[in-house]
Chain A
Amino acid sequence: MQSKTSSSELRPHACFNAGLFRRDLSRFWPLWAVYAAVWLLALPMTQFAQLFGNSAQHFTAPQLAGNAIQSMMSISCDLGVWGGAIFGCMFAMALFSYLCSPRAVGMMHAFPIRREGLFWTNFLSGAVVLLAGQVLAFGLTAVMQGAAGILVWKYLLESLAAAAGTMFFFYSFACFCAMFTGQILAIPVFFAALNVLAAGVNYLVQNLLSQFLYGYSASGSPAWVIWLTPVWKLNRTLGVDGPWNDEIQTYEKLSISGLSAVAVYAAAGAALMILALVIYRRRRSEAAGDTVTVCWAKPLFRFGCGLCCGLSLGQLLYELLWTEFRSSGQSSLPAAAACMALAGLVGYYAAEMLLRKSFRVFRTGWKCAAAVAALLILLTVGIRVDAAGVENWVPSADSVASLDFSISGNSGLSGTLTDPESIRKFLSVHQTLIGEKTIQRQRGMENSLSEDTGYEYGYLSLNYTMKNGGCVSRNYSFYYTPEELQNPNSAAARAAALASEPDVQWAGLLNGTDQKTVEQNLTAGEMSWYDGQGNYQSTGFDQKTACTVFAALKKDVKAGRMGSYYFGGGNWQEEVYANNVSLYYSTGEDGRINTVSFQIPTDCTDLVDLLKKSGVDTPAHPLITQAQLDKLNDTGKDGTALSATAAVKG
């Protein structure tokens, strides 16, 4: 009998196995080849065509260099994100596919190697291929650029860092997702779902809030939501920056913006890699084939599916079913709650079916399903009764950095304000509108039931950008009687007054450019007029006239006459001229032409007099009110042609 060997004499490497590493490299070579081919096609081949192809003759040497480097950096960013997401997921699927087959997992886990060893070896195989593909592509790119004499290592290494960082993150993230499931096809589903989960839930909740809360409007996604949506964040952050050199007609001193975000995601990738290992060590071999392999993640999966399905499918159901039945224009709490609960149950039981691999799931687990439905009903009710006080909340003036507004009635304007005093005026109107919440809801309902309520309509949109980087959006539709405009404390009167405020008018007219800049750079102007034949013509005027028109505009704005017709009774068409006046000014080094465009209310005496005096408003092409224009159009319809002059006289 031979002597036996003790365990201590046999120490296989616990954390790495070269045979498995080689096997991984040889086993999945088609995937590695496709990956490498994509990078080679995207970088060195494109560079080769760009630098040595026929089109290279059309550019100067600096232009060619600028274009090639810009193209390399841009491709590195884009392919790093999208290629990272796609190939990272595919790599994880391939390398950890054995965890999805009971036979395979049996063999691998019976081998004399620790779980860490299997994880690190497999993970490393993928990481090495990821990096090797990029190093190869960038190496050949360096050869191309070197041959063309444009090689700058800084640009090349920066591009490689961006691509490698993003790819590492997505690969680690996909491996992390792979640890949670024993179904190969669930890996890309989990990966995609977790990539967009934060943004999706944020959108769905905001959508639900805007259904029920007075004035609430989806205000985009907060920064943390964008960070938790890596494809979105990286896609919008990563880019190529560099000043345009007008002299040589190309970009120079290029750099990749958003490299700090890449660094953050790469660090997150490292953390996910460690977490994936921790989960792998705890993962049970017998879970191969299960949808969710980690015990504590199963309730999360059930509840998560239930809640997400409730929020998404529930709202879809509500929109599909309820919109046909609602006549009051108001959202229905019972209908919404029922749709959400029903969809939540569908989601919960679907998750349960996936977990149990059986359709017979209705008897067991009904309590948890009921809890999901109850939670969704509670959420809907909570939103409807505004448990969080969102409806009545108005930001403090000190906390607002800027305001994008839109105010309209018969006509309107929109712009951006940063002046705290101007913002405070809007906050005051905002507060007044909240005070009229009940009556406005009632009027909205009446208005949807009958067209003849006698109410006039107004609209105010407020998008506050907060100093902390957040965003708050509110949209208010409000109804008012003409008499209410006489009451200075009513929301309608305050909105009307606000619309005529000079700072509000200038914000709308000049789109952020200051008055002096416009005034000093005016080049010309024109006024449109109706020729009576169904066409609009325009009469131009020179810079001098444009300056005088702008001076008159300043006087009328200052006097609060420009927005006078936005809110009011039925005869507002007689209070504004239909002609459009445009003043042109050029700003910036590129000489781009900008426009100040406006319609003139009839009480803007300074403007009206000036246009007449300066010969812009003449009997041949006169200022005509909106009412006159409507009359002219009606007459035209009867077949009787009427000149604009005749209409004015008429």
Chain B
Amino acid sequence: MIEVNKLVKRFDGFAALDGAALTVPDGSVYGLVGPNGAGKSTLIRHLTGIYRQDEGAILVGGEPVWENPALKARIGSIPDDWYYFLQASIRDMMRFYRSFYPRFSMERYEKLKEVFAIDERRTIRRLSKGMQKQAAFWLTMCCLPDYLILDEPVDGLDPVMRRQVWSLVMSDVAERGTTVLVSSHNLRELEDVCDHVGIMDHGKVLLERSLEQLQDNMVKLQVVFPDGMTEVPPELPVLHASKIGRIHTLIMRMSAEEATERLAQYAPLLVDAVPLTLEEIFIYELGGVNYAVKDIVL
């Protein structure tokens, strides 16, 4: 389990993390989402032992990460800007990684050579951005990590390779019980792989739930009110409302059953509950903390 509690990190007085807290259950895939500058990458750098927190605790498998080589040997990470030595080939980097990770599997390395189909002797800087990302995956997956921490992992990969990479990750989760924390802006993709989601903003984790809970907690309703009732009753707790013709689309933070019940008193002609996508949840949740798409006339 990954546990982050009241994590604070300040850069020259600015709190990049301001009491962030999250829990990633063992064997789960946790999607960390949030707007730009929310503190996701900073949190991830703490989880990988790069940054030292000012306050709070970071425990992975019950142990603090900071200066804990034995624990870090079980953590694999791919940052959004993976570093490699300028003159190094994938094979060179493999040797380098192997010297640090006692569990580095050459067997897996050889197997993945076929998956990624990149010439391991080519200098990495000569490879395309997507191929460099593949190389990062290749090497990280060979470390056989118990905890995999990914920051924008599939950014730059083509659709086929994205699926390939996710399939590798998910098979590790299934077979080895790997715990995955992934930060991404591609919510559509996260929706497919994550079972837990945390939403960050301003250095805090605003909410974290299982994807199921998250979707159960918010509902999108398409409603047609009776004749003469053109507006949404103000007493309804609506997060967002829009109207096309007579059809009102309402977003409400409650279960579909509860929302239907609340609307029943107005005798609507039509009530239809539609599940929200993760992207919609993200947008409406953050809309509540003043992070919404603004209507700006240029």
Contacts and interface: CB of A to CB of B under 8 A. Distances in A.
A286 B174 CA distance: 35
B100 A113 contact: yes
A110 B60 CA distance: 14
B18 to A, nearest CB: 16
Contacts, number: 107
Contacts of A105: 50
B69 to A, nearest CB: 4
Nearest to A13: B69
B87 interface: yes
A109 B73 contact: no
Nearest to B87: A27
A640 interface: no
- By size class, the interface of chain B is 35 or more
Contact of B85 (A19, A23, A112, A286): A23
Given A17-B99, A27-B87, A113-B100, A8 B77 contact: no
A103 interface: yes
Given A10-B102, A284-B51, A112 B45 contact: no
A106 B69 contact: no
Given A1-B177, A103-B81, A285 B45 contact: yes
Q: Is the interface of A mostly helix, strand, loop or mixed?
A: helix
Interface centre among A22, A103, A106 (most CB of B within 10 A): A106
Given A2-B176, A18-B99, A106-B50, A10 B77 contact: no
Nearest to B71: A7
Contact of B68 (A7, A17, A107, A110): A7
A12 interface: yes
A253 interface: no
A7 B96 CA distance: 21
Interface in A79-131: 101, 103-107, 109-115, 117
A11 B177 contact: no
A117 B51 contact: no
B87 A5 contact: no
Interface in A177-236: none
A112 B177 contact: no
B67 A103 contact: no
A286 B74 CA distance: 23
B69 A114 contact: yes
Given A5-B146, A286-B11, A19 B95 contact: yes
A406 B12 CA distance: 59
Contacts of A17: 99-100
A7 to B, nearest CB: 4
A27 B98 CA distance: 17
A112 B72 contact: yes
A20 interface: yes
B72 A110 contact: yes
A452 to B, nearest CB: 66
Contact of A109 (B49, B63, B81, B96): B49
Contact of B96 (A23, A103, A117): A23
Contacts of A14: 69
B219 to A, nearest CB: 35
Contacts of A114: 67, 69
Contacts of B61: 6-7
A280 to B, nearest CB: 12
Interface string B206-222: 00000000000000000
A112 B79 contact: no
Interface string B2-41: 0000000001000000000000000100000000000000
Contact of B146 (A4, A11, A107, A286): A4
A294 to B, nearest CB: 14
Interface centre among A2, A17, A112 (most CB of B within 10 A): A112
A6 B51 CA distance: 23
B175 interface: yes
Interface in B211-257: none
Interface in B59-99: 61, 63, 67-75, 77, 79, 81-83, 85, 87, 95-96, 98-99
28 contacts: A1-B27, A10-B70, A10-B73, A10-B102, A10-B103, A11-B102, A12-B69, A18-B99, A20-B99, A20-B100, A27-B87, A103-B79, A103-B81, A106-B81, A106-B83, A107-B79, A107-B82, A110-B49, A110-B50, A110-B79, A112-B69, A112-B72, A112-B101, A113-B69, A117-B69, A284-B51, A284-B52, A286-B45
